[in-house]
Amino acid sequence: MACTLEKFIHSLDPRALPRVLQIQSGIYFQGSIYEMFGNECCLSTGEVIKVTGFKINKLIASICENNEDSQFSAKVELPLNFPGLYKVVADKTPYISIEEITRKVAIGSTRFGHPCFYSSEDIKLANLTIKQEGTFYECEDDQIYTLKEIAEWKIPRCRNRIVKLSNTLHSWDSSNPLPDNFDGCLILTPVYEVQAVMKFRKDIVHILSDLDVEVKDITDCYDISSFLQPLSLEDVFERTTMEFPMVAEVMEGPLGRQKPYNLLHIGKEIVIYKKYQATRVLASEIRSDSPKRHFLIPMTYKGKFKRRPREFPTAYDLEIARSEREQLHVVATKAFDSPHAELFSVSVGDQFLVQQRQTSEVLYEGRKKVIDVLACEQILSDTYKEVLLPMYMEGGFVEVIHDKKQYQLSEICKEFRLPFNVKVSVRDLSIKEDVLAAVPGLQLEEEITDSYLLISSASSPVESWEIPVYRLNMSVHLLSKDVQAVLPPMTKTTVEEISEEEYYMVRRFENQTLHPPPRPPKKPAALAPKPVSTVSKQVISDVLQATKNFCVDTTKKSCANQAADVSELQVSCQNDLVHHDNVKDMTEKPTLVEAAVIKGLTNNPLGKWESEKEQEEEHNYEYVDENVIENIRKVFQDTTTRNKDILSEDRRDI
């Protein structure tokens, strides 16, 4: 029976693909040629196409100014990257069975694919299996999502989805289709992009589901093998190991000017040697403004890195960053007035050696209370003083680097805890254009494991390339050709630059197997914050540079005069002068002269003036590249938990 293409796609179960359709009627029944996504396509009456996939391309949103029960009025078109975070409104239409839920609702291994339902009737269990009975209603969802996430996971088959705008992320570059200060609901209707193969074409065509044509499903009475069989990289990766190597022809290639992407054009024949998991280091450009660039660096990267100072917003971050390999040396960029006499008050320019986390007894509202603290050594002009910093302390610290060594990427991952700040000191000469060399600073955030295929050109297999399976939009069909060389040629190293969206997805899925660190202790609510002063990044940079220059000059003078009363300084400064390849004792304490120089520079009037100027410009000191979406989510989700904790503490006090 014939139906519109839109109705057919809305009701189509992806597990039933591929399907063969015959064009029945529509505005293109005369065989008109139209262009869609750069592909010319002719849909004439009787034309046969094979649908191999479909995905949501855009959303048609009906606007409601008040709430979901009000009348919906105007309709607007929203792209999937339209900014904002949205709360999903629970669907009031019930599902009649578990089978309907599994058929219409997106279910997956991530938290997006874990829908929650409740039954209006008692459910009888038999062998831990829920029987088909009763009706099931969607539970309220307290999460917030982007439009793209909603399109991928939260719009059931044959249904629309009502959402409410929760947060706006940034302004839309073009004219905003939503009313000014919009705070109502949207009913979202998906428009799908249909991926299909035509009878006498070797490329893939893309058709929007709202095209005004009628189609008929003739899969059961048609020889589906007469069509080419396009395979995505995911499909190829699911093949067994014994099937590799294989020869394939590109049906749909990726965009990009960098090798190997510029070689993977339509019609190109390639050899796919093997599939495997490979480790990459996720890195982001260090800069105060946005957008930042993001990279995936292979362990085979042959460049070298030098360390750059890290910045820590709290004492809790100092505890996370400390390691057994070396003692963490920091200088304070923000003052903190301790509410407890037993704990230390920090001034701008104070320097500390971080020791360890411990507990301490303090007097709080007339009662003794045990809290978590960070034990440190304050560096004074002629001695070291043991001090305790409250773990909840909201301050600001910059790391002082004494290590001049150049590191390979593998050395950094083995010897230090990520995140870690670096700069490329020697570029990778095996890469024609090393994109990392031009970046002023990088934060190595975490190691990830990703899926790759190793490929080369079938006609001239001079070099092989690793291509990512899940970040490359590419389709191929397999050829019945023998592979000439079973062993791949030399593999070329490539640093992959990824988009902001890909960066968020990589971090989100990678972190699901990790346990997040505990939240920092709360600051006592009864204590009002006092004004604090800060010091600008430029001043800190000048301080660190001045310290280095001072050490070098002092070393030369000390060594020449052979002054015995500054032996500690001589040892430290001589180490600064040795070649960077010599390994330095990383547990050595910074010299007291260095401390005096930094203390003096950060407390001078120029530093104070710079501090006031920086406060006016509202610069933000953060050492971690924050995921904006995840931050808003965290605030949104933690509000209820925080209120419960406060209420529980009040009850215990009573």
- 221/291 same-domain check: no
Residue 218 counted as domain residue: yes
- 418/482 same-domain check: yes
Number of residues in the chain: 654
pLDDT at 601: 43
How many domains is the chain partitioned into structurally? 4
Q: Of 370, 399, 428, which residue sits at a domain end? A: 399
pLDDT at 599: 45
Mean pLDDT of the 245-250 span: 94
Q: Is the pLDDT of residue 181 over 50?
A: yes
**Comparing 78-87, 364-373, 516-525, 538-547, which segment has the lowest mean pLDDT?**
538-547
Residue 560 counted as domain residue: no
Q: Is the pTM of this model over 0.85?
A: no
- 288/321 same-domain check: no
Cα 304 → chain centroid: 25
- 69/216 same-domain check: yes
Whose tokens are 């009706």? That residue is 135
- 288/432 same-domain check: yes
Q: Give the structural domain span for 220.
A: 1-80+183-228
Residue 373 counted as domain residue: yes
Q: Is the pLDDT of residue 652 over 60?
A: no
Residue 557 counted as domain residue: no
- 301/405 same-domain check: yes
- 167/207 same-domain check: no
Cα 477 to Cα 433: distance, rounded to the nearest angstrom: 32
Copy the structure tokens of residue 219: 């899969």
- 380/422 same-domain check: no
Residue 541 counted as domain residue: no
How does residue 442 score in pLDDT terms, banded at 50, 70 and 90?
very high
What are the distances in angstroms from CA 47 to CA 17, 200, 203, 212, 222? Answer: 19, 11, 16, 15, 13
Q: Are strands 205-208 and 185-198 parallel, antiparallel or unpaired?
A: antiparallel
| Closest by CA position to 637, among listed 138, 87, 144, 140 | 144
Q: Is the pLDDT of residue 223 over 60?
A: yes
Kindly report, residue by residue over 97-135, the tens digit of the pLDDT.
Answer: 888 888 888 887 677 778 888 887 776 666 655 555 768
Whose tokens are 């000017």? That residue is 257
pLDDT at 566: 30
- 391/424 same-domain check: no
Residue 215 counted as domain residue: yes
Residue 461 counted as domain residue: yes
| Closest by CA position to 580, among listed 364, 357, 404, 352 | 404
pLDDT at 514: 45
Q: Of 167, 182, 197, which residue sits at a domain end? A: 182
How does residue 249 score in pLDDT terms, banded at 50, 70 and 90?
very high
Residue 553 counted as domain residue: no
- 168/217 same-domain check: no
CATH, residue 336:
2.30.30.40
What are the distances in angstroms from CA 180 to CA 65, 171, 177, 184, 596? Answer: 11, 12, 9, 11, 56
- 127/176 same-domain check: yes
- 322/394 same-domain check: yes
How does residue 561 score in pLDDT terms, banded at 50, 70 and 90?
very low
Q: Of 489, 513, 537, which residue sits at a domain end? A: 513
How does residue 484 score in pLDDT terms, banded at 50, 70 and 90?
confident
